Structure 1
């Protein structure tokens, strides 16, 4: 009973911790999305400057990542050569800056619920770009699944009560850039044995994003902010928003590191439904029956996609047991990258 009780207690503790990590990630992801919507929506806080908001996130995250690595030494640094930085990190930073700019801009035009429905297209974008760049092999069954997800999102868009073509264009553009970034991470970094956790990702990529966003900010938003003498930056609002964005990256590190990226996929689906319910009941966004029917179709497609990934995970685990011990770590790292690519959620580095 002693050993059995100890084992049961250990298993129970592990299960409870896993649920805690999932709960923390859902809460922070939920908070960041709603917080960004609150700030950017003209009818709420009324500060429609997505580039400026993203610059605040990048500067805050860059500073904290620098302190955690170089001052407090809470995270081990990852050494990256100048050549690798210029050829790999900089392009990934450029793609991510575009993704963040467009995705934050979409909150000005679209409801939270509809944006979450459009995000169901992330597996479609990642798979399509992976095939186009010859990183993934074309598979008829997978493509049929991708088409079913696309059909569900199209039905949801058809039923959207406040459809805005420009907002949809911004969100789809953000998905394309984000999917490209995820594929490029595997091509440019993971294939070279470079694996960045959320803090080291922030350390290298956040400053790149900040620099790339400065040009459009100077041209587009700075003149408006300069002439708007009535605007005063609310330290508590924007500071809390930036801190939540940073904390979300830590939650990603805990969730993926202590459970798995597949768990994150499932948690992401739960979060999406919660956001849709919140958007409808609290923010009072209109969610139509056709919206829900279309998203349900996409949800089934994403669920089947996750099921296939689970089967692939089991097959990979079987291969790992049969493979020499030296190959275990590499196989696990590659598998985790592939799992993360499937959702676009978390990945490292979210705002």
Structure 2
């Protein structure tokens, strides 16, 4: 694997890794205080930050259709989740920070991919190279936090003292790691082929699905405004697909 120039490594790869660690930490911490539905509402606003960061770094040209898409999706998901949110200030601050940092992470990833494209001798498989370059900073960013918050529980945990439970835990950790790697690989591939904003828009389908699963699994009730919100969010995604395909055909 060819080494990145030091300037690119410290300006992009390391910040992406740190943003990844902070996104995971803040998102998980917020769920101690807020519901999954409220988490979904705040996270859906990440498309707004995504658009702002993409425009600021020159990845997107500002346009009214893009603004309309973001407003449709964000307001739609908010309406779809209306009535079931329980506001807790510190939980809100945590998930809002995670939303901002998480979207910055993907916009910086797009910048890194473009820098590797322009860099002489860039590796052929750029997606795998991005995972390789940002993983150390991500791991080093999470390790101190994990040790500080949970180290005292490790020595007395039955999952560590019982060999059978330990092996089972390691197996599930390995499977989870493989699934996480595949997910990140696919997400970076999508950013490479389209843009960070496209990834955020596509993720809105996940938010809509999350609300629907809450209905079928946890018995959450949907009122008329919730159904209307789902329709609005879906229309926003379809409108973005239409405008993006039209722009691609005009190029």
TM over 0.5: yes
Is 2:73–2:204's contact at 8 Å kept on the other side of the alignment?
no
Q: Distance in 1 between matches of 2:104 and 2:87?
A: 26
Cα shift readout 1:114-133 (whole Å, capped 9, x = no counterpart): 54554443332211223345
- With over 3 angstroms needed to count, the CA separation of the structure-2 counterparts of 1:277 and 1:155, relative to structure 1, is closer
Which position in structure 2 is the counterpart of 1:190? 114
- The reply to whether residue 307 of structure 1 matches residue 231 of structure 2 is no
Which position in structure 2 is the counterpart of 1:279? 214
The two structures have a TM-score, normalised by structure 1, of 0.54
Gapped regions of structure 1 (runs ≥ 5) = 1-76, 317-351
Cα shift readout 1:252-282 (whole Å, capped 9, x = no counterpart): 57x859xx65997887555554444333323
Which position in structure 1 is the counterpart of 2:55? 131
Q: Distance in 2 between matches of 1:168 and 1:135?
A: 29
Is 1:103–1:171's contact at 8 Å kept on the other side of the alignment?
yes
Is 1:148–1:298's contact at 8 Å kept on the other side of the alignment?
yes
Which of the numbers 222, 241, 264 marks the counterpart of 2:151? 222
Q: Distance in 1 between matches of 2:230 and 2:27?
A: 19
Q: Distance in 2 between matches of 1:281 and 1:164?
A: 25
Which position in structure 1 is the counterpart of 2:163? none
- With over 3 angstroms needed to count, the CA separation of the structure-2 counterparts of 1:188 and 1:274, relative to structure 1, is closer
- The reply to whether residue 208 of structure 1 matches residue 137 of structure 2 is yes
Q: Distance in 1 between matches of 2:62 and 2:73?
A: 17
| Per-residue deviation, 1:100 | 2.1
- With over 3 angstroms needed to count, the CA separation of the structure-2 counterparts of 1:307 and 1:106, relative to structure 1, is farther
- With over 3 angstroms needed to count, the CA separation of the structure-2 counterparts of 1:313 and 1:115, relative to structure 1, is farther
Q: Distance in 2 between matches of 1:142 and 1:264?
A: 14
Which position in structure 2 is the counterpart of 1:199? 128
SS in 1 for 2:45: helix
Q: How many residues align?
A: 235
SS in 2 for 1:158: coil
- With over 3 angstroms needed to count, the CA separation of the structure-2 counterparts of 1:176 and 1:218, relative to structure 1, is same
RMSD of aligned alpha carbons = 3.6
Taking the TM superposition and a 5 Å limit, the aligned residue runs for 1:138-153 are 138-153=62-77
Which position in structure 2 is the counterpart of 1:243? 178
Cα shift readout 1:196-236 (whole Å, capped 9, x = no counterpart): 6442222111111011222323333334x247544535223
- With over 3 angstroms needed to count, the CA separation of the structure-2 counterparts of 1:191 and 1:197, relative to structure 1, is closer
Q: Distance in 2 between matches of 1:251 and 1:141?
A: 27
| Per-residue deviation, 1:173 | 2.1
Is 1:148–1:297's contact at 8 Å kept on the other side of the alignment?
yes
The two structures have a TM-score, normalised by structure 2, of 0.72
User: Does 1 or 2 have the higher relative contact order (CA < 8 Å, sep 6+)?
Assistant: 2
Gapped regions of structure 2 (runs ≥ 5) = 161-165
Q: Distance in 1 between matches of 2:33 and 2:216?
A: 19
Which position in structure 2 is the counterpart of 1:288? 222
- With over 3 angstroms needed to count, the CA separation of the structure-2 counterparts of 1:106 and 1:313, relative to structure 1, is farther
Which position in structure 2 is the counterpart of 1:169? 93
Structure 1 window deviating more from structure 2 (294-303 vs 88-97): it is: 294-303
